[in-house]
Amino acid sequence: MLLLDKGADVNADGGKYGNALQAASAEGHRAIVTLLLDKGADVNADGGKYGNAIQAASAEGHQEIVTLLQTRGAITLSSKWSSASIPTNSAKRPRLMELEHSD
């Protein structure tokens, strides 16, 4: 929090997720998502592994964060998304795990 209070760019690009908001959303850190949004993070910033924060939260099954991002103005429908990847649908789908079997 101190870095943000000292003027760090809340929307800085970089890393696997593209920005801090997408990283916090993907990892399910609601308090950090809220803090970043309160400090001015762009709720619709593009980039990173998932494309944006709401897609990150959705892909990882964090419905509560999807809802939070929606209330903060996240765009939830784009012509490039199929209905299966619309955030509210994706977060509700059960996650599958690939298991390896050895004899």
Q: What is the CATH number of the domain that holds 21?
A: 1.25.40.20
The verdict on residue 95 lying in a domain is: no
Is 102 within the bounds of a domain? Answer: no
**CB neighbour class for 61 (10 Å; exposed up to 12, middle 13-18, buried from 19):** middle
| pLDDT, averaged across the chain | 83
Where in the sequence is the domain holding 52, given as residue range(s)? 2-89
DSSP state, residue 96: P
Q: In sequence order, what are the residues at sequence separation of 6 or more whose Cβ sits closer than 8 angstroms to the Cβ of residue 84?
A: 90, 93
Confidence grade of residue 5 (pLDDT, cut at 50, 70, 90): confident
- Over range 64-68, report the average pLDDT: 96
pLDDT band at 56 (very low <50, low <70, confident <90, very high): very high
Q: Is 98 part of any domain?
A: no
* Threshold 0.85, pTM exceeds: no
**Residue 29 falls inside a structural domain:** yes
As for how many domains the chain has, the answer is: 1
In a domain? residue 94: no
